[in-house]
Amino acid sequence: MGNPLQDQLLKAGLVTKKQAGKVKRKQYLNKKQKSNKNSPSKSDNKARTQQVAQAERNRELNRQQAAKKQQQEKKAQIKQLIGKNRLKLDGNGDPYYFSVEKQIHRIFVSDEIADQLSRGQLAIVQTSRSFEVVPVKVALQIAERDKGVVVALHKE
């Protein structure tokens, strides 16, 4: 038994059998899709869990990249602070000894700079290849970013 309205339209000649069949197929497909949406299959659940896991991995990678970028920015700031504020050392003068990780190092400084280092007005910081002397204010700014770079800072 078909749809009574459809039968009436066919008898009146307002629609053809082909048009009625298309509408019937469309209604069937819509009904089928609605029933599939209401009862999610196992593959849908699996896909959702994979999407959630992938999103979590992406968030973790983003956190790691942000931390790495922040660390690089701090290193660049430290390098810039040292480059702008370091004191020129000519290599002449008396050796000034200090220890870094149980190793004794020395730099050659003038008597005035050695006196300021011992009074806590200057500090020694470590760059990637050498040691530099900077004012104590700059050393404190550097210590805020990375405490391991400041190797000799005497308190007054």
Give the torsion sign (CA, 106, 109, 115, 120).
negative
For residue 95, pLDDT beyond 90: no
Q: Supply the pLDDT for residue 55.
A: 93
Give the torsion sign (CA, 95, 98, 100, 102).
positive
Reported confidence tier of residue 38, pLDDT bands at 50, 70, 90: low
Averaged pLDDT of the chain: 84
Give the span between the Cα atoms of 2 and 15, in whole angstroms.
Answer: 15
Give the span between the Cα atoms of 86 and 79, in whole angstroms.
Answer: 10
Helix/strand/coil (H/E/C) assignment for every residue in the chain: CCCHHHHHHHHHCCCCHHHHHHHHHHHHHHHHHHHHHHCCCHHHHHHHHHHHHHHHHHHHHHHHHHHHHHHHHHHHHHHHHHHHHCCCCCCCCEEEEEEECCEEEEEEECHHHHHHHHHCCEEEEECCCCEEEEEHHHHHHHHHHCHHHEEECCCC
Indicate the domain borders of the chain.
4-38, 47-156
Write the pLDDT tens digit of every residue in 58-76.
999 999 999 999 999 988 9
Average pLDDT rounded to a whole number, residues 113-139 = 87
For residue 9, pLDDT beyond 70: yes
Q: Supply the pLDDT for residue 2.
A: 67
Is 0.85 surpassed by the pTM of this model? no
